[in-house]
Amino acid sequence: MNDVDSSRGIWHGTTILTVRKGGRVVIAGDGQVSLGATVIKANARKVRSVGKGDVIGGFAGATADAFTLFERLESKLEQYPAQLTRACVELAKDWRTDRYLRRLEAMMIVADRETTLVLTGTGDVLEPERGLMGIGSGGNYALAAAKALMDGPLGAEDIARKAMAIAAEICVYTNTNVVLEALDSSK
């Protein structure tokens, strides 16, 4: 998300990171919600399980918009059970073409046991390289830290926690109140 003038009253900033390693996939998110230069909430939950618990997701962007997208994704997963990629492509089509959804300002990372995907309002459905992706204001910091830790002995959860801590030291819109969801992976 772009940094914005606090006089406009725009909520922004977050860090969401996904790590896939050693038979686990993890999505971690910080808990900070900011309005300009003010921390409004320090323990928001931006990561959750979706559907029947076989998909996890995290969002960066406007909270109401993200909840709308999570609801739409759950609906698509009901329509296309056990087909995360198909559900996400269908959601991206709706997001891109529906007049209401086009105005939503959010990004999502979602994962199931086999696949990790990033969804954007421009219609992108991307599978990250090496099972790593970061979004939000601190996403690139967390991603860089996770990349540096991937070849070491740490598991997915420990990599995510360390990378999120590093991002929180650098990004003023990211804190250390991390929520983490994990699934056993087939990769």
Catalytic residues: 14
Please, which residues have CB within 8 angstroms of residue 14's CB and are 6 or more apart in sequence? 1, 29, 30, 32, 33, 46, 59, 60, 61, 136, 137, 138, 173, 174
CB 174 within 8 A of CB 46: no
C-beta of residue 182 within 8 angstroms of C-beta of residue 25: yes
Cβ contact 40:29 at 8 Å:
no
